[in-house]
Amino acid sequence: MKFSIQREAFLQPLSQVVGVVERRQTLPVLANFLVVAGDNQIAVTGTDMEVELVAHGKAEVAQQGEITVPARKLVDICRALPDGAKINFAQEGDKVLLTAGRSRFTLSTLPATEFPATDAVEALQSLNLQEGKVKQMLDRTAFAMANQDVRYYLNGLLFHFQNNGLRCVATDGHRLAISDLEETAELSDERQLIVPRKGVLELARMLTDSDSGITLGLGKNHIRLVKGDTTLTSKLIDGRFPDYSAVIPAGSDKMVTADRAELTHALQRAAILSNEKYRGVRLEIADGSMKIVAHNPQHEEAVEEIGVEQDFDKVAIGFNVTYLLEALNALDGEAVCMSLRDANSSCLLCAPEKEHNRHVVMPLKL
Determine, yes or no, domain membership for 119: no
Do residue 105 and residue 54 come from a single domain?
Answer: yes
Give the residue from 123, 32, 44 showing the smallest Cα distance to 69.
32
Do residue 349 and residue 281 come from a single domain?
Answer: yes
Determine, yes or no, domain membership for 120: no
For Cα atoms 364, 156, 140, give the angle at the middle one, nearest 5 degrees: 65
Between β-strands 125-130 and 175-181, what pairing exists: parallel, antiparallel or unpaired?
unpaired
Can you give the pLDDT at residue 193? 95
Give the residue from 10, 13, 23, 112 showing the smallest Cα distance to 53.
13
Do residue 298 and residue 345 come from a single domain?
Answer: yes
The residue count of the chain comes to 366
Low-confidence residues of the chain, pLDDT below 50?
none
- Beta carbons of 59 and 41 less than 8 angstroms apart: yes
Do residue 129 and residue 241 come from a single domain?
Answer: yes
What is the rounded distance in angstroms from the CA atom of residue 211 to the CA atom of residue 223?
A: 21
Q: Among the three residues 93, 114, 135, which one is the final residue of a domain in this structure? A: 114
Do residue 175 and residue 104 come from a single domain?
Answer: no
Do residue 272 and residue 336 come from a single domain?
Answer: yes
CA dist list (Å): 235 to 49, 118, 120, 227: 8, 9, 11, 18
Determine, yes or no, domain membership for 174: yes
- Long-range contacts, 300-305 (Cβ 8 Å, 24+): 300/273, 301/273, 302/269, 302/270, 302/272, 302/273, 302/274, 303/270, 304/266, 304/267, 304/269, 304/270, 305/266
Do residue 233 and residue 272 come from a single domain?
Answer: no
Do residue 135 and residue 232 come from a single domain?
Answer: yes
- For the chain, what is the domain count? 3
Q: Which domain holds residue 106?
A: 2-114
Do residue 184 and residue 234 come from a single domain?
Answer: yes
Buried (b) or exposed (e) across 24-60, using 16+ Cβ within 10 A? Answer: eeeeebbbbbbbbbeeebbbbbbbbebbbbbbbbebe
Q: Among the three residues 84, 114, 144, which one is the final residue of a domain in this structure? A: 114
Q: Among the three residues 114, 137, 169, which one is the final residue of a domain in this structure? A: 114
**Per-residue pLDDT tens for 65-107?**
999 999 999 999 999 999 999 999 999 999 999 999 999 999 9
Do residue 238 and residue 252 come from a single domain?
Answer: no
Determine, yes or no, domain membership for 23: yes
Do residue 132 and residue 240 come from a single domain?
Answer: yes
Between β-strands 309-310 and 254-259, what pairing exists: parallel, antiparallel or unpaired?
antiparallel
Can you give the pLDDT at residue 119? 62
Determine, yes or no, domain membership for 142: yes
Torsion sign over Cα 51, 41, 64, 123: positive
Determine, yes or no, domain membership for 366: no
What is the rounded distance in angstroms from the CA atom of residue 266 to the CA atom of residue 280?
A: 14
Can you give the pLDDT at residue 282? 97
Can you give the pLDDT at residue 302? 98
Contacts of 19 (CB under 8 A, 6+ apart): 46, 53, 201, 202, 205
- Beta carbons of 143 and 116 less than 8 angstroms apart: no
CA dist list (Å): 55 to 41, 230, 275, 323: 10, 4, 45, 36
Q: What is the CATH number of the domain that holds 313?
A: 3.10.150.10
Do residue 80 and residue 146 come from a single domain?
Answer: no
Can you give the pLDDT at residue 40? 92
Question: What does the H/E/C string look like for 50-113?
Answer: CEEEEEEEECEEEECEEEEEEHHHHHHHHHHCCCCCEEEEEEECCEEEEEECCEEEEEECECHH
